[in-house]
Amino acid sequence: MIFRVIIFALICLPISAYSSSVKVHERILNNGLKVLVKEDNRSPVVVSQIWYKVGSSYEPGGITGISHMLEHMMFKGTEKYPAGEFSRIISENGGRENAFTGRDYTAYFQTMEASRIEVSFKLEADRMRNLQLDPVELKKELEVVTEERRMRTDDKPRSKTQEFFMAMAFSNSPYKNPVIGWPSDIANYQVEDLQAWYERWYAPNNATLVVVGDVKPEAVFALAEKYYTDFKPSKIRTVKPQAEIEQQGMRKTNIKLPAKLPYLLMGYKVPVLNTIENEFEAYALEVLAGILDGGNSARLASRLVRGKQIAVSAGAGYSMMSRLPELFMLDATPAEGQTVFDLEFALKEEIYTLKSELISEQELQRVKAQVLANSVYEKDSNFYQAMQLGMLETVGIGWQKVDEYVDKINQITAEQVRDVARKYLLEDKLNIAYLDPQPITEPRKRSKIAGGRHAN
């Protein structure tokens, strides 16, 4: 009972205290560039991120991974700032910078001492429109990206299993393709492909500039005007919907790779906030993921890793913030003496239980308490706060949703969790991959993988 009181205190207390306190300021420039500013004065620092609405899910066949390749090339210079200058200037100003590409976005960021923010704006604005794509630089950078692919995917049995898994689970959704691209696509990008991709998507009206830190919103808007306002908007052709056809029955694949441990991946096709019938259902699926894998007291750790000791690790996850329909994912590694098939059965049993029995009030409150606490912890990081705003805006949900999250999760009931389990976690929409470990033997003389380039 003591417990209950504490939880009650938690739920009432902080929502009003923390949630709506920090305002996000929005300004849309005449050319369509959206600027979001969130003030955080805890430290004299600032993060500036620019998000472009383009990523691997925008890519047609033959040039998969080109968004990521272009992200690399964006560091290769403009007329004003030749290759290397961008990074050199940011560095000399004490800044840290990098970029990342996902299925639904490409983003660039600089973290600086707050008074240097103009340096970041000046450089980032320049490469929005003035990138110079050079065939010699491209040739070298293709090698770099191919090495990146080898490191991230080809030499990692689980990553490679995930790649095969996604390619099987989706029939025609672009989510079937890896963000880094298929090897033979990477090997064959031409400068013209990159030029076209750059011209098509890198425009003020296809971007969101997010700034979080020790800054004044008006000053940031003025800087944005100063550096971006001359850019004409582009006519952005909307990307084709490529809506996934309905899956008709379970799909399975067995992946044989040199590895030491077996591994299981399962994914149910589910909608996301962007596409779901009733908004609350997406939040209910989030809670459901928290019931299974919201820490060490959640069901997978408690029942499968400890209780039955059938898994050495097990996880579940759902990203409601994707642009297109997603997979509700489960993954697990069997304990010694157990098989992936035992695990598959045990995980399905957990899903079955969620459909047939209501989750306990205590479990539901635990998830809500964690969501609430996390909403405070997240504010420790400017970068994370900027990520949230940038991502929501870029996938088309709208940054305003960030403030609703805790509230919406709080409204979810045990019945709703059961109902979304019944409605969406369907056997016919399930995809399964097994990593079937093969001996790690002496390396054989292997032909180069398809993406390999010649040594000189």
Partner 1 sequence: MRISFLSFILLVFSHAVFSAAKIEHWQTKQGSAVFYVETKGLPMADIRVVFDAGSARDGYQFGISALTSALLDTGAGDLNADEIAQHFENVGAKFGTGISRDMAWLSLRSLTDEKLLNKALLTMQTIISKPKFNKADFQREKNRTLAGLKHREESPGALANMAFFNALYKDHPYAHPSSGIIETVSGFTADNLKEFYSQYYVATNAMIVIVGDIRKPHAMNIAESLVANLALGEKPNAVPEVNFSKEGFNKHIAFPSAQTHVLAGVIGKHRKDSDYFDLYVGNHILGGSGLVSQLFSEVREKRGLAYSAYSYFSPMLRKGPFTMGLQTRNDQTEEAITVMKNTLKDFVNKGPTDKALLAAKKNITGGFAMRFDTNSKLTSYVSMIGFYQLPINYLDKFQERVEAVTVVSIKDAFKRRVVPEFIHTITVGGNANR
CB-based contacts of 11, cutoff 8 Å, min separation 6: 365, 368, 369, 372, 410
Query: Would you say 156 or 355 has its CB closer to partner 1?
Result: 156
The stretch near partner 1 (CB under 8 A) out of 134-142, 231-239, 267-275, 407-415 is 134-142
- Taking CB under 8 A as the criterion, the residue among 24, 167, 239, 312 binding partner 1 is 312
What angle, rounded to 10 degrees, do the helices at 117-129 and 85-92 form? 170
Give how far Cα 317 sits from Cα of 268, 287, 359, Å: 11, 10, 18
344 classed as catalytic: no
How big is the chain, counted in residues? 456
Binding mask 268-307 for partner 1 (x = CB under 8 A): --------------------------xxxxx--xx--xx-
298 vs 391, beta carbon nearer partner 1: 298
Within residues 6-45, the interface with partner 1 by CB under 8 A covers 6-7, 9-10, 13-14, 17-18, 41-45
Taking alpha carbons only, the member of 334, 317, 312, 326 closest to residue 264 is 334
Tell me, by CB under 8 A, how many residues bind partner 1.
92
Tell me whether residue 73 or residue 425 sits nearer to partner 1 (CB atom): 73
Nearer Cβ to partner 1 (379/423)? 379
To partner 1, the closest distance from the beta carbon of 364 in angstroms equals 11
Q: Is 353 in the site for partner 1 (CB under 8 A)?
A: no
Q: Which of residues 354-413 bind partner 1 (CB under 8 A)?
A: 362, 365-366, 369-370, 372-374, 376-377, 379-382
- Which residue, 88 or 422, is less far from partner 1 as judged by CB? 88
Site for partner 1 in 63-82 (CB under 8 A): 75
Is residue 135 within the footprint of partner 1 (CB under 8 A)?
A: no
Q: Check 26, 39, 71, 286 and give the catalytic one.
A: 71
Sheet of strand 34-39, all strands in order from the earlier edge strand to the far edge: 24-28, 34-39, 207-213, 45-52, 106-113, 96-101
Q: Check residue 446 for interaction with partner 1 (CB under 8 A).
A: yes
Cβ 245 to partner 1, closest distance in Å? 34
Among 60, 62, 84, 135, binds partner 1 (CB under 8 A): 84
Among 196, 243, 440, 450, binds partner 1 (CB under 8 A): 440
Tell me the C-alpha distance between 288 and 299, whole Å: 10
The verdict on 143 binding partner 1 (CB under 8 A) reads yes
87-116 residues in contact with partner 1 (CB under 8 A) are 87-88, 91-98, 111-113, 116
Which residue's CB is nearer to partner 1, number 144 or number 196?
144
The single-letter code of the amino acid at 193 is D
Of residues 158-187, which lie at the interface with partner 1 (CB under 8 A)?
none
> Of the candidates 80, 135, 147, 361, which one interacts with partner 1 according to CB under 8 A?
147
**Looking up tokens 């997978």, which residue turns up?**
300
Quick check: 442 binds partner 1 (CB under 8 A)?
yes
Assess 308 for contact with partner 1 (CB under 8 A): no
Beta-bridged to residue 268, according to DSSP, are: 328, 430
Q: Which two tokens stand for residue 282?
A: 């997406």
* CB-based contacts of 431, cutoff 8 Å, min separation 6: 165, 168, 169, 247, 250, 251, 252, 265, 266, 267, 268, 269, 327
Say how far apart CA 154 and CA 68 lie, in whole Å. Answer: 17
Which long-range contacts link 222-230 to residues 24+ away (Cβ below 8 Å)?
A: 223/117, 223/118, 223/121, 224/27, 224/29, 224/33, 224/35, 224/121, 225/29, 226/121, 227/121, 227/122, 227/125, 228/29, 228/31, 228/33, 228/125, 228/128, 228/204, 229/29, 229/30, 229/31
Whole-number minimum distance, CB 354 to partner 1, in Å?
A: 19
Query: How many other β-carbons are positioned within 10 Å of the β-carbon of residue 3?
Result: 9
Q: Which residues are catalytic?
A: 71
